[in-house]
Structure 1
């Protein structure tokens, strides 16, 4: 299953907190686009019925079925820029 670094968890919480009307248990949803474009990230108020939920330190990531398979045994990391922008990266576990 996908895991998150502490930095990624902080980034997810920061992103979700910037979006109005998203509950505290909202999160970032990762959807596999099925194309060369890779994955699509969006803020979501909660998981869809078939999503896999990854939680770490109060941060929530919701993975659609295809993303959950593709990201199994991966680590989500993030780089936080001084201007507030976030860049996510995927690494391998272990």
Structure 2
């Protein structure tokens, strides 16, 4: 299952708070429709029925059912080089 670092969890919580996402909402990771092998991240008010909930802090992280296998051995972290909030997926240690 995808893991989420403390840095990524804090970034999701900050972004969700700024965007006014309800407490049952969070960050959703899904397969990119236009670019196979890529992922789309979006703040959502609630998970889709088939989403996997991978992190339950003050804000949640959801993974689309079709993306779960591809993300199973990865970790969601923040990108320190990004201008503003940015996330990276890296292999689990």
TM-score w.r.t. structure 2 length? Answer: 0.85
Tell me whether 1:15 sits opposite 2:2 in the alignment: no
| 1:1-94 equivalent positions in 2, closer than 5 A | 1-20=1-20, 22-34=21-33, 35-36=35-36, 38-79=38-79, 85-94=84-93
The answer to whether the Cα contact below 8 Å between 1:13 and 1:59 also exists between their aligned partners in 2 is: yes
Runs of 4 or more above 6 Å deviation: none
Task: Count the aligned residue pairs.
Answer: 91
Give unpaired runs (5+ residues) of structure 1.
none
8 Å CA contact 1:76, 1:89 repeated in 2: yes
Secondary structure, counterpart of 2:46 in structure 1: coil
User: What is the rounded CA distance, in whole Å, between the counterparts of 1:80 and 1:24 in structure 2?
Assistant: 26
Tell me the CA shift for residue 46 of structure 1.
1.1
Unpaired stretches in structure 2, ≥5 consecutive residues: none
The alignment's TM-score, normalised by the length of structure 1, stands at 0.84
Q: RMSD in angstroms over aligned alpha carbons?
A: 1.9
Deviation at 1:55, TM superposition (A): 1.2
